[in-house]
Chain A
Amino acid sequence: MSPEPIGGVETSAILYLDGVTVSFDGFKALNALSLVIEPGEMRAIIGPNGAGKTTMMDVITGKTRPQHGQVQFAGKHDLTQLDEAMIANLGIGRKFQKPTVFENHTVEDNLYIALKEDRTVFSVLFAKRSPAQAKRLDELLEITRLGPHRDILAAKLSHGQKQWLEIGMLLAQDPQILLVDEPVAGMTDAETAETARLLREINKTRTVIVVEHDMTFVRDLGVKVTVLHEGSVLAEGSLDHVSADNRVIEVYLGR
């Protein structure tokens, strides 16, 4: 890792990726990817399977280190130098493609664990649930519509409910920016519409990046779209704008 200073770029962006390259045994999952997300924005990222969408999230959250390029958060944090826990505590929350909740904990405990709080070992050992936290948990259960299920094990939730629980856990972390990977995969139409509502609600106070295949869902969100292809940006703009782009049509139709 080169301790290259990240100065030089003056930007208002909350998230700034420039020339990010990740290769796995020579195969470039990300190829000089550049992306700028403004505070408060909601951005949809689309692209065929294998375009590098999940890898991009891995890079932002510290799971994968890029070979080249800059990844900068809020103009002052070089994310390529930090580990997963540090990045999470800076205020970047992530929902995985495959829903991952803590199955042996109750719904409420899943949210409790995620609540923003001092995470050093000894303060967690002696942590007591405060009334403010209890209130926040009630709110989160309300937002995710999981209130009736608060005392059951997360393992018992349906697929859609797990996705919402995971989004609730993200909110509990009180992040500035949420990265949401394919939230509606495997959901019914009603659940999909509900998820769009939830994300729009969240976007009122936070920046959101959503990766999704489902075009109806993306249209529903009505936000700026970035099309990824073979690890770099193919097109960017409104959904109508990018779907009129010939290269995008070719990538999607010529698969």
Chain B
Amino acid sequence: MTPAVRTALFGGASIWLLGLIAALAVIVPAMNLLMPPDSAFHLSAFAVTLIGKYLCYALLALSVDLIWGYCGILSLCHGAFFGLGGYAMGMYLMREIGDRGVYGNPDLPDFMVFLNWKELPWYWYGFDNFGFAMLMAVVAPGLLALVFGALAFRSRVTGVYFSIITQALTFALMLAFFRNDMGFGGNNGMTDFKDILGFSVQSDGTRCAIFVITAIMLAAGFLVCRAVVHSKLGKILISIRDAESRTRFVGYRVEHYKLFVWVLSACIAGVAGALYVPQVGIINPSEFEPANSIEAVIAVAVGGRGTLVGGIIGGVLVNAVKTFFTGTLPDFWLFALGAMFILVTLFLPKGVIGLFKKTGGIGVKLPGLGKLASGAAKEAKP
């Protein structure tokens, strides 16, 4: 370990970030549970959930930053991995409703009764078990990423071509989940959740517990990503990002490395989705909308691509701005998003984090977007 790496590992922004997350995990629930509702320091349940949502988006942005910032893979389907994690949680929450649904059917979720289904489809088996459902929240996106990535990376699909097929993937999933006969609730998705592990999802205590768990998972995700990018493998990822073909000639099987980090990233996005659903109380196919994946990418660009802290900051920041716009000027949100992206690309190529850090850690000197695309086009030629 060189001294430079050691500082990156233990010093600076990482400590600040972890401290901030820990502080949030204590202060936010305390302000909600301990302060009387009429106190100026009281935080409403709505606010707790809103901040919790931001942390979920931060975890999603972190996962995008891991592959895009460090390995140069621009994914436009991380919203889909997020959505799959969310559906796994949603399925568990639907099973938890039991016979308290509108139709009072103890064996089937309401939407299946409505469709006149007689029995639970096989792929719903096990989702009444919380542990199994949480495993699936990681395994389902991980498996999809594994199959998709194995095919794409082996055929050496890179750059914009790769991004375009990821976009097609999330679009295809959206169409599939819209169908009622898929058995995931069609365009209504899943909602009206009652409780989680026996605790009411509406109660302040549960909301605060989920918030704390979200904060812990964000910190854990950050630590995992940090361990990866500071390992020797992390150096190989950067080598692949900057000079893929050269990395092959040094003897590294580039496709294996890409596949590893791609699957890891999809699993993290799945965890973010699973944490998101009980807080917003609904999961439906709109989570697969291509715009969601693009939003996550822009969040990373805004925060600072190629620094993990930057990814997290971007995830929170972009979604906080989104809350503001959807509340006041909903029609302008997409323009604002586009404007943020353009402004950051032009004036803050290292993102918001670049304002604080003079040396960008190990993520310095990234190719601009134009170069990224043209370089990709050049490389993709067989």
**A residues near B, CB below 8 A?**
61, 63, 83-85, 88-89, 93-94, 96, 100, 102-106, 108-109, 112-114, 119-121, 124-127, 129, 151, 153, 155, 169, 173
Q: Are A114 and B364 in contact (CB under 8 A)?
A: no
What are the residues of chain A within 8 A of B248 when measuring CB–CB?
83-85, 88
Q: Are A155 and B249 in contact (CB under 8 A)?
A: no
Q: B362 at the A/B interface (Cβ < 8 Å)?
A: yes
Per-residue CB proximity of B367-378 to A under 8 Å, as 1/0?
A: 000000000000
Q: Are B235 and A105 in contact (CB under 8 A)?
A: yes
Closest B residue to A108 by beta carbon equals: B2
Q: Are B238 and A105 in contact (CB under 8 A)?
A: yes
17 residue pairs from A and B, CB less than 8 Å apart: A63-B245, A63-B249, A84-B245, A85-B253, A88-B251, A104-B238, A109-B235, A112-B235, A113-B232, A113-B239, A113-B250, A120-B256, A121-B257, A124-B236, A124-B252, A125-B231, A125-B260
What are the residues of chain A within 8 A of B364 when measuring CB–CB?
104, 153
- Specify which of B1, B252, B260 lies most central, judged by the most chain A CB atoms within 10 Å of its CB: B252
Question: In the assembly, what is the distance between CA of A173 and CA of B248, in Å?
Answer: 12
Known: A85-B252, A113-B232, A124-B252. 19 other contacts (CB 8 A): A63-B249, A84-B245, A84-B248, A84-B249, A85-B253, A85-B254, A94-B249, A96-B246, A96-B249, A102-B239, A102-B246, A104-B365, A114-B250, A121-B257, A124-B231, A124-B232, A125-B232, A125-B260, A127-B231
Asked, given contacts A126-B231, A127-B232, A151-B2, whether A119 binds B251 with beta carbons under 8 Å apart, the answer is yes
Q: Are B249 and A88 in contact (CB under 8 A)?
A: yes
Question: In the assembly, what is the distance between CA of A85 and CA of B242, in Å?
Answer: 17
What are the residues of chain A within 8 A of B40 when measuring CB–CB?
none
Q: Compute the total of residue contacts between A and B using a CB distance below 8 Å.
A: 84
What are the residues of chain B within 8 A of A103 when measuring CB–CB?
242, 365
Q: Are A121 and B256 in contact (CB under 8 A)?
A: yes
Closest A residue to B1 by beta carbon equals: A129
Question: In the assembly, what is the distance between CA of A102 and CA of B251, in Å?
Answer: 14
Partner of B228 from A119, A120, A125, A153 at Cβ < 8 Å: A125
User: Shortest Cβ distance from B374 into chain A, in angstroms?
Assistant: 17
Q: Are B365 and A106 in contact (CB under 8 A)?
A: no
Q: B102 at the A/B interface (Cβ < 8 Å)?
A: no
User: Shortest Cβ distance from A170 into chain B, in angstroms?
Assistant: 9
Q: B355 at the A/B interface (Cβ < 8 Å)?
A: no
Partner of A119 from B231, B239, B245, B252 at Cβ < 8 Å: B252
What are the residues of chain A within 8 A of B252 when measuring CB–CB?
85, 119, 124
User: Shortest Cβ distance from B277 into chain A, in angstroms?
Assistant: 31
- Specify which of A63, A96, A125 lies most central, judged by the most chain B CB atoms within 10 Å of its CB: A125
Asked, given contacts A102-B243, A102-B246, whether A113 binds B235 with beta carbons under 8 Å apart, the answer is yes
Q: Are B236 and A113 in contact (CB under 8 A)?
A: yes
What are the residues of chain B within 8 A of A125 when measuring CB–CB?
228, 231-233, 260
Q: Are A151 and B233 in contact (CB under 8 A)?
A: no
Partner of A155 from B231, B232, B365 at Cβ < 8 Å: B365
Closest B residue to A155 by beta carbon equals: B365
Closest B residue to A110 by beta carbon equals: B239
Question: In the assembly, what is the distance between CA of A243 and CA of B363, in Å?
Answer: 50
Question: In the assembly, what is the distance between CA of A186 and CA of B367, in Å?
Answer: 25
User: Shortest Cβ distance from B371 into chain A, in angstroms?
Assistant: 14
In the complex, chain B residues 218-268 whose Cβ is within 8 Å of any chain A Cβ:
228, 231-233, 235-236, 238-239, 242-243, 245-246, 248-254, 256-257, 260
Q: B182 at the A/B interface (Cβ < 8 Å)?
A: no
Q: Are B235 and A100 in contact (CB under 8 A)?
A: no
Closest A residue to B362 by beta carbon equals: A104
What are the residues of chain B within 8 A of A102 when measuring CB–CB?
238-239, 242-243, 246
Q: Are A105 and B239 in contact (CB under 8 A)?
A: yes
What are the residues of chain A within 8 A of B251 when measuring CB–CB?
85, 88-89, 119, 173
Q: B4 at the A/B interface (Cβ < 8 Å)?
A: yes
What are the residues of chain B within 8 A of A114 when measuring CB–CB?
250
Partner of A100 from B246, B260, B362 at Cβ < 8 Å: B246
Question: In the assembly, what is the distance between CA of A140 and CA of B129, in Å?
Answer: 57
Question: In the assembly, what is the distance between CA of A124 and CA of B251, in Å?
Answer: 12
What are the residues of chain B within 8 A of A121 when measuring CB–CB?
233, 256-257, 260
User: Shortest Cβ distance from A63 into chain B, in angstroms?
Assistant: 8
- Specify which of B4, B245, B248, B362 lies most central, judged by the most chain A CB atoms within 10 Å of its CB: B248
What are the residues of chain A within 8 A of B363 when measuring CB–CB?
104
What are the residues of chain A within 8 A of B362 when measuring CB–CB?
104
Per-residue CB proximity of B1-21 to A under 8 Å, as 1/0?
A: 111100000000000000000
The 10 nearest A-B residue pairs measured at CB: A88-B251, A84-B248, A127-B232, A125-B233, A89-B251, A100-B246, A85-B253, A124-B233, A121-B260, A102-B239
Q: Are A100 and B243 in contact (CB under 8 A)?
A: yes
Closest B residue to A105 by beta carbon equals: B235
What are the residues of chain B within 8 A of A83 when measuring CB–CB?
248
Q: Are B235 and A88 in contact (CB under 8 A)?
A: no
Closest A residue to B366 by beta carbon equals: A104
Closest A residue to B257 by beta carbon equals: A121
User: Shortest Cβ distance from A94 into chain B, in angstroms?
Assistant: 5
Question: In the assembly, what is the distance between CA of A61 and CA of B254, in Å?
Answer: 15
Closest A residue to B306 by beta carbon equals: A104
User: Shortest Cβ distance from A122 into chain B, in angstroms?
Assistant: 8
Closest A residue to B241 by beta carbon equals: A104
User: Shortest Cβ distance from A84 into chain B, in angstroms?
Assistant: 4
User: Shortest Cβ distance from A116 into chain B, in angstroms?
Assistant: 8
User: Shortest Cβ distance from A70 into chain B, in angstroms?
Assistant: 22
What are the residues of chain B within 8 A of A129 when measuring CB–CB?
1
Question: In the assembly, what is the distance between CA of A94 and CA of B29, in Å?
Answer: 59
Asked, given contacts A61-B249, A124-B236, whether A104 binds B242 with beta carbons under 8 Å apart, the answer is yes
Question: In the assembly, what is the distance between CA of A125 and CA of B264, in Å?
Answer: 13
What are the residues of chain B within 8 A of A105 when measuring CB–CB?
235, 238-239
